[in-house]
Structure 1
Amino acid sequence: MFTKPVPTFANGGRPDPMPIRADTAFQTMYRLNVGGTAVSPSDDSGVLYRSWDDDDPYIFGAAFGVSYGKDSNVTIQYGQAVPPYIAPESVYASARSMGPNAQINLNYNLTWILPVDAGFYYMLRFHFCEIQYPITKQNQRVFHIYINNQTAQEDIDVIGRSGGIGRPVYADYLAVTAQGSGQTDLWVALHPEVNTSPEFYDAILNGLEVFKLQTYGSDNLAGPNPPIPPSDTAGNNAVAGGGAGSKKKSGAFVAAWAAAAGGLVAVLVGCLCVWAVRRRKRKAALSIAEVPKAVGETPAPVILGPTKSPAFSDMAH
């Protein structure tokens, strides 16, 4: 899989080929359909049943660039150098570029951040294919590739490498992550080339694969164990249950509920007492008003005085 072409070591732009031994074990970390949608194993090419994810979750910042599909009159043309099993047509038929504004493109990098295990070598396979007109000639779109802030490749010209629009090409690069525990971020960035004065200051990517290579010293792919979260002593004591501390907490809990219930009962009793007193006063006032009716006299206006609240007085008016 990694025999042709020989991967280039990303060490600041010096083209140092670094062959990978045939007995090297590897693990797929990422397989991204850049600018496109996820590809299920049943839709993969070469009966390899690979899964390709969309790249949106890994783009750094708000500079997403522009994603697009191939022009309707463009056909993906595999060749001897890039047979169909390298990547499905749907990967080469979609892409992400920086966008149409040259001034904006010159002031940022189109960047992806990929969490990986620290202390390993990684092989990154970049898939390219120009799929939209008017880019059909060399030196129309030229750009640089950076991996972990190191120049992996200068002056990438997709048409110059592939030979024409709709023709796929790929390039392999090696990167190493610093020793450490846990995970670290693998940065991948693209930036336009300016020295060759291309027609468009832009960059393009169709697909990206990341493979973790075994360490030759220990011949394994195992990453470090994830850090153990700090234990919650108080929580463990509470969950343990059955001890004196648990019983004390249960007793305090019951006492709190009993006090709350007693307070509620007291409030209800108080409300009932107030209601009963007001009801008696109302009955007394009515009996005084009815006395003149019994002797045939005109009743005098009833003045309850302070037994009325201001709210009831306002309602009466």
Structure 2
Amino acid sequence: MRISCGARDDITTKPTNTLWYRDFGYTGGKFANATVPSFIEPPLKTLRYFPLSDGLQNCYKINNVPRGHYQVRLFFALIADPSFDSEPTYDISIDGTQIYSLKSGWSNIDEQSFVEAYVFVTDRSFTTCFHSTGHGDPSILSIEILQTDDNAYYFGPLWGKGTVLRTAKRMTCGSGKSAFDEDYGGNHWGGDRFWLGVSSFPDSGQPTSTEHNISQTSISPNFYPENLYQSAIIGDDEQPDLSFQMEVDPNKKYSVWFHLSEIDSKITGEGQRVFDILLNGDIAFENVDIIRKAGGSYAALVLNSTVEASGRILTITFRTKPGSHAIINAIEVFEVIVAESRTLAKEGICNAGHMTSCSNLVLTYRPWSLVAREAPYAKSRTQFGRDVQMTKHYRPHEARNNAESGSNLLS
């Protein structure tokens, strides 16, 4: 389900003919024309903003959402009116848990034009709220609530219904071309992830690519598209190692996912490319041999590790063995957030000082706004261990229908 905030009618956007439903579920705020600051954002023309004078009426509440695991993405925009603060900053929470704070300058950085998180809906309702930090009125361009596999991004004992995964970084390496899963023709049960294209790292690496088919892709539970593994950044004779740094919040846990495939035609057997993967100087994976682990060339391999950041920089290093060059196809980094107890009154959903009746806030979307889809069969959670290699194929006959009808939107 996708909502175009501030829109009075349903909208279809090119080039993928994506359907956005008219604005609903808001507890307050006003609509306005939007200025979209980034090429990443959908080409929508309106937004909803929440003036400070409205008090706690600063949320979206969607009821009758089928229980499950969801990719939630919110795009931000600027009010197309010079009398408003050109760049508001505010905090975002989902179901009572703060997941993100906009930083000054966000409208000039493509990756900061949205926030994305993976959450569980357990009580058939979804709430997101926007809390001004005193610098302008929160303004929201769109909301996406896309159901994913129940076991998507399982990373170990910390994973579960009490955990939120916020996307901190996601990039496809080598091609230099940014894309969404839909652009790649990805399976909808993987969501519609945005992949920032990078052709090299600041101090190392060269791009490489192939048109060869890649096996072991689009496999449950994460359903990664094949295109993701057809390009890579690779070391060279002068600098065989690869290294990448990103800003993080200190004393937070991060789940890091590495996507690998041996797409270099000169590497044909085991032992020809071997390297270690280090997180902040500590070995996360030792003696990585893609051909051995994946079972051959042109096959996808996914590795996952969790690290606690002690400082504000996360350094990822691919350290080669003698005679090897490192390679990486894509990287994902998620902040692991422990969900707080849900307190609707604190979020301003039901506050007698601002509302005459809490029942006015029971807003549900129309039954046709969630298309019934077959969800992958929810098997018992698998203990992948540290070396996660996705090799289980999806079987259409092992499916269940996970859609439920909702009541009409109240006017």
TM range (shorter): 0.5 to 0.7
Alignment of 1:96-111 (within 5 A): 96-99=233-236, 101=237, 104-105=238-239, 109-111=241-243
Matching residue within 193, 218, 221 for 2:321: 193
1:2, distance to aligned residue in structure 2 (A): 9.7
Q: Which runs of 5+ in 2 are unaligned?
A: 1-148, 343-411
Q: Which runs of 5+ in 1 are unaligned?
A: 8-17, 195-199, 221-317
Q: Which residue of 1 aligns with 2:230?
A: 93
How many positions carry a matched residue from both structures? 189
Secondary structure (helix, strand or coil) at the match of 1:152 reads strand
Q: Which residue of 1 aligns with 2:170?
A: 31
Report the CA distance shift for 1:76/1:171 in structure 2 as closer, same or farther (over 3 A): same
| Structure with bigger RCO (C-alpha 8 Å, 6+ apart) | 1
Matching residue within 156, 165, 189 for 2:288: 156
Aligned partners of 1:178, 1:130: CA distance in 2, in Å? 33
Secondary structure (helix, strand or coil) at the match of 1:91 reads helix
Secondary structure (helix, strand or coil) at the match of 2:259 reads strand
Secondary structure (helix, strand or coil) at the match of 2:254 reads strand
1:134, distance to aligned residue in structure 2 (A): 2.3
1:149, distance to aligned residue in structure 2 (A): 1.4
Identity of aligned residues (%): 24
1:42, distance to aligned residue in structure 2 (A): 2.7
Aligned partners of 1:2, 1:60: CA distance in 2, in Å? 36
One-letter identity of the residue aligned with 1:205: I
Q: TM-score scaled to structure 2, two decimals?
A: 0.42
1:155, distance to aligned residue in structure 2 (A): 0.2
1:137, distance to aligned residue in structure 2 (A): 1.2
Secondary structure (helix, strand or coil) at the match of 1:165 reads coil
Q: Which residue of 1 aligns with 2:245?
A: 113
Asked if 2 retains the 8 angstrom alpha-carbon contact of 1:129 and 1:169, the reply is: yes
Aligned partners of 1:51, 1:6: CA distance in 2, in Å? 19
Give 1 or 2: higher strand fraction.
2
RMSD, matched Cα:
2.8
CA deviations 1:29-74 (Å, max 9, x no partner) are: 11100112211353141222111002358x343x2x111111x4x2
Asked if 2 retains the 8 angstrom alpha-carbon contact of 1:105 and 1:192, the reply is: no
Asked if 2 retains the 8 angstrom alpha-carbon contact of 1:60 and 1:113, the reply is: no
CA deviations 1:268-309 (Å, max 9, x no partner) are: xxxxxxxxxxxxxxxxxxxxxxxxxxxxxxxxxxxxxxxxxx
Q: Which residue of 2 aligns with 1:50?
A: 193
Report the CA distance shift for 1:219/1:150 in structure 2 as closer, same or farther (over 3 A): farther
1:185, distance to aligned residue in structure 2 (A): 1.3
Q: Which residue of 1 aligns with 2:270?
A: 138
Aligned partners of 1:186, 1:219: CA distance in 2, in Å? 29
Q: Which residue of 2 aligns with 1:208?
A: 331
1:92, distance to aligned residue in structure 2 (A): 0.3
One-letter identity of the residue aligned with 1:122: Y
Q: Which residue of 2 aligns with 1:260?
A: none
Asked if 1 retains the 8 angstrom alpha-carbon contact of 2:229 and 2:259, the reply is: yes
Runs of 4 or more consecutive aligned structure 1 residues displaced over 3 Å after TM superposition:
1-7, 82-86
Larger radius of gyration between Structure 1 and Structure 2? 1
